[in-house]
Amino acid sequence: MVIADESLSPTLKQHLSGTVIEVRSGAEALCEVVEMDCVDMVLTALVGYAGLEPTMCAIAAKKDIALANKETLVVAGELVTSALVEHGVKMYPVDSEHSAIFQCLTGEAENPIEKIMLTASGGPFRGKDRSFLANIKKEQALKHPNWEMGAKITIDSASLMNKGLEVIEAKWLFDLRNDQIDVVVHPQSIIHSLVQFEDGSIKAQLGLPDMKLPILYAMAYPKRLPAKFPRFSFWDYPALNFEKANTEVFRNLQLAFDALEKAGNMPCILNAANEVAVAAFLKDKIGFLEMSDLIIDAMAKAAFIDKPSLQDYRETDAETRRIAQAFLQTTA
């Protein structure tokens, strides 16, 4: 067992004394564990930038990846996908939207994608304007209408940054051009995403909003294992609605598209700034709309690198966090 916080390791070891469980701690221990011979597949579900290096270690050790940590591809998509090819490793998406696309593409290897459409619930503030968002508190933002998730991803969903990160992730997972990725607001979260092919046909994957299915699909692929999850019924959802995402109100989504277009280490800058912004918002140190202001400031000030290495990503992440902290000090 590995625990990320090394200061808590002695307590965990004490609780597990008398068992056969070995306790390791820290970032290096994560890499050691994923490289073990007994490991066949690594499910990467760490939050944020922290998922990158253990995933790279697992790929180098030729372990297939079930990816729930979208930031790994957001931060270093080109580096990660090149490593997958170099080491002959497969990566299976666990995010419900990317799992949906992956499922829609099964059997379509000879048919080029025209575009994909990632669906977004719109979060708890769908349809609200900036004057409403200016007074949002974390307690409101943490109440997602459809999904039960951790605090960080729930805030990202409320700001639509989560969808922006998924746009960048999708580019690398499915080898897409930027203009092949659209976002559609779908409040019911029943259609998890769609793929449009060159003949105009669209395939969609539907299901109740529950992460159990995409996790099972990634872990068991190419088989579909029997499951007793609740089933979707059309009679419970007589109408499915779709809207255009408002990037003027929810600026984080547009910032993600901007970072994708700039490429290089800009998505890494976007991600690091957002992690600091969300943490500050959850501690009541910054307003909901100010999260975007912080990210814009960091994207303007952090050093841009066109062809970053892994070390460049490390330094970019650290530099961006320093810039973001300085922004917080000016708003305190």
Task: Verify that 228 and 320 share a domain, yes or no.
Answer: no
On whether both 119 and 176 belong to a single domain, the answer is yes
If asked whether residues 273 and 213 sit together in one domain, one would say no
Q: Is residue 201 part of a domain?
A: yes
Quick one: 154 and 232 in the same domain? yes
Q: Are residues 231 and 287 in the same domain?
A: no
Is there a contact between 90 and 84 (Cβ–Cβ < 8 Å)? yes
Domain boundary among 75, 93, 111: 93
Written as six digits, the tokens of 247 are: 């990037």
Q: Is residue 255 part of a domain?
A: no
Query: Do both 81 and 129 map to the same domain?
Result: no
CATH label of the domain that carries residue 273? 1.10.1740.10
Q: Which residues of 84-111 are buried (b: 16+ CB within 10 A; e: fewer)?
A: eeeeebebbbbbbbbbbbbbbbeeeeee
Residues 160 and 223 in one domain: yes
Alpha carbon distance 173, 194 (integer Å):
15
Is 51 strand, coil or helix?
Answer: helix
Q: How far is CA 82 from CA 33, 59, 78, 105, 219, in A?
A: 23, 10, 6, 21, 22
Which are the contacts of 285, defined by CB distance < 8 A and separation ≥ 6?
328, 332
Number of domains in the chain: 3
Decide if 320 is inside a domain.
yes
Question: Is 48 contained in some domain?
Answer: yes
pLDDT, residue 96, reads 94
CA 172 to chain centre: 12
Give the Cα separation of 125 and 81 in Å (integer).
35
Residue 254 placed within a domain: no
Dihedral Cα 54, 56, 62, 63, nearest 10 deg: 40
In total, the chain counts a number of residues equal to 332
Burial call 179-192: b when 16+ CB within 10 Å, e when fewer: ebbebbbbbbbbbb
Chain-centre distance of CA 217, in angstroms? 18
Please give the chain's pLDDT, 332 residues, in tens: 788 778 888 898 888 888 988 888 877 888 888 888 888 999 988 888 888 999 999 999 999 999 999 999 999 999 999 999 999 999 999 999 999 999 999 999 999 999 999 999 999 999 999 999 999 999 999 988 877 778 999 999 999 999 999 999 999 999 999 999 999 999 999 999 999 999 999 999 999 999 999 999 999 999 999 999 999 999 999 999 999 999 999 999 999 999 999 999 999 999 999 999 999 999 999 999 999 999 999 999 999 999 999 999 999 999 999 999 999 998 86
Compute the distance between CA of residue 173 and CA of residue 171 in angstroms, rounded to an integer: 6
pLDDT at residue number 73: 96
Cβ–Cβ contacts within 10 Å for residue 294, how many? 24
Record the tokens describing residue 257, joined without a space. 């598209």
Predicted pLDDT at 7 = 86
Is the same domain home to 241 and 294? no
Token pair of 61, please? 């050790």
> What distance in Å separates the CA atoms of residue 250 and residue 295, rounded to the nearest whole number?
13
Structural domain contains residue 258: no
Distances in Å between the alpha carbon of 175 and those of 97, 101, 112, 161, 171? 16, 12, 11, 21, 5
Do both 129 and 244 map to the same domain? yes
198 and 117: one domain? Answer: yes
Is residue 257 in some structural domain? no
Token code pair at residue 135: 């007074």
pLDDT given for residue 8 in this prediction: 85
* Per-residue pLDDT, 193: 97
pLDDT of residue 17: 87
Closest CA to 270 of 169, 182, 175, 161: 161
What's 69's domain CATH number?
A: 3.40.50.720
What is the predicted pLDDT for the residue at 245?
95
Q: Which domain holds residue 267?
A: 263-332
Q: Do 59 and 193 reside in the same domain of the chain?
A: no
Q: Which of 83, 92, 87 is nearest to 65 (CA)?
A: 92
- Going by C-alpha positions, the residue among 262, 330, 272 that lies closest to residue 298 is 272
Q: Final residue of a domain: which of 195, 227, 249?
A: 249
Q: Residues 89, 100: one domain?
A: no
Residue at which a domain ends, from 60, 93, 126 = 93
Rounded to 5 degrees, what angle do the CA atoms 112, 221, 28 make?
Answer: 105
Q: Is residue 143 part of a domain?
A: yes
